[in-house]
Amino acid sequence: MNGLRKLTDKIKPSFEKGGKFGFLHSTFDAFETFLFVPDTVTRRGSHVRDCVDLKRVMIMVVLALVPAMLFGIWNVGFQHKLAFGLNDWGFWNIVWYGIVKVIPLYLVSYIVGLGIEFVSAQIKGHEVNEGYLVSGMLIPLIVPVDVPLWMLAIAVAFAVLIGKEVFGGTGMNIWNPALIARAFLFFSYPSKMSGDTIWTGGMTRYMAEGTAYASGNGLIDGVSGATPLAHPTSEGLMAAGTDFMDMFIGTIPGSVGETSAIAILIGAAILIWTGVASWKIMFSSVIGGLAIGYLGYAVGSTDLPGYYQLVMGGFLFGTVFMATDPVTSAQTECGKWIYGFLVGALAVTVRLWNPGYPEGMMLAILLMNTFAPLIDHYVIEFSIKRRAKKVKIA
């Protein structure tokens, strides 16, 4: 490591402004901060001193996502094994298939996304921020495993350019970039984001070729590529052979990283313990989802108890990893409670009373991203008025 540090220090002057490769200063700085802890220190008096910086925060979120990613890799192979009746497959066959299907999603996400970030930084003469480390990790986890890679590349480019760079880059965006990518895919290519053949690896290929899947050969009876949201009733779940524990563990079809509540809760514990994400937003979102879930259960809109809504679709994943995005969520303490509650409530409301769109988490978070500044505004206004009344009384 010392040798790498010496080599970096030796070539660094060439990449400084005025050096031979000064035009690549932003790119060199990005690689240096990726390899080493920045040595920039406060040179004047400051009110707050802290060792936490953007790089450490982003890395912590990436680490919190690792359990969901690892389980997603295994589950992709497991669902393929079930769908095609591959009874001779062991653990490593399942994992290897999952790796082959999931890693290309990450390669496209990071190559396209980081490529645009680097070019943008070079054009603007700014530093390359670490913000896309998280977005690049999130995007492959919230899309179907069989999404065409060229579609994913277009969605990533749209998310980075329109969702981030036009607003000024990391820390300036209004909406969560990962959800912008998913929304682009959903509205531009709806057939690739919904249906029974896209949630299990290999199903789309066989459907297109008209072989095993189309003829029904080699499939286990009762297994389909649809998620529980495709049949959100107790009878539908029973017919699909799915129960609450299957959804809690995550052994169901779905987006790569959204199926396992256990893996997501491990990530939530990491984020809360390190103070990176707001537990208030997570808790209030769950309360909002339960409130509307049980309301729908009471009025007969669904025969599933409210707690089922927490483990179906992307509710828990969105609550933990995307609703808590510190850039696009509410900033005030009271605002976080309001924001989180409305995210959970809106997500389940869309599920129960919009038959054309069974998964409401994406729309709920994007909508509340839009209104988060307004929530903070009125929370602050209310606080100022309340204090003003106290002053008058005194």
Is residue 193 domain-shared with residue 291, that is, in the same domain?
no
Domain shared by 81 and 215, yes or no: yes
Same domain, 22 and 169: no
Residues 24 and 103 in one domain: no
**Residues 108 and 130 sit within 8 Å (Cβ to Cβ):** no
Q: What totals of helices (H) and strands (E) does the chain contain, helices first?
A: 17, 0
Who's near 189: CB < 8 A, 6+ residues apart? 151
The winner for highest mean pLDDT among 9-13, 162-166, 315-319, 326-330 is: 315-319
Are residues 114 and 202 both part of a single domain? yes
Domain boundary among the residues 195, 220, 245 is at: 220
70 and 143 share one domain: yes
pLDDT of residue 36: 56
C-alpha Rg value of the chain to the nearest Å: 23
Going by pLDDT thresholds of 50, 70 and 90, the confidence category of residue 368 is very high
Give the whole-angstrom CA distance, residue 91 versus residue 75: 11
Listed as own residue / partner, the contacts of 352-360 with beta carbons closer than 8 Å and 24 or more positions apart are: 352/292, 352/293, 352/296, 352/301, 352/302, 353/296, 353/301, 358/229, 358/230, 358/232, 358/313, 359/229, 359/313, 359/314
Give ∠ CA 288-186-325 in degrees, rounded to 5.
45
Residue 114: inside a domain: yes
Evaluate if residue 222 carries a pLDDT over 50: no
Q: How far is CA 261 from the centre of its chain?
A: 14
Q: Is 285 part of a structural domain of the chain?
A: yes
pLDDT in tens, 14-57: 656 666 555 455 555 555 555 555 555 555 554 555 555 566 77
Least confident stretch, 90-99, 218-227, 246-255, 332-341: 218-227
Q: How far apart are CA 354 and CA 36, in angstroms?
A: 49
Is residue 334 assigned to a domain?
yes
DSSP category for residue 313: T
**Domain assignment of residue 99, given as a range:** 55-220
The answer to whether residue 257 sits within a structural domain is no
- Number of domains comprising the chain: 3
Residues 189 and 305 in one domain: no
Q: Verify that 69 and 173 share a domain, yes or no.
A: yes
Does one domain contain both 368 and 306? yes
Cα 185 from Cα 264, distance rounded (Å): 23
- Report, in this order, helix, strand and coil percent for the chain, each rounded to 5: 65, 0, 35
Average pLDDT value for residue range 170-197: 82
Q: What are the residues whose beta carbons fall under 8 Å from the beta carbon of 166, sequence distance 6 or more?
A: none
Are 73 and 158 contained in the same domain? yes
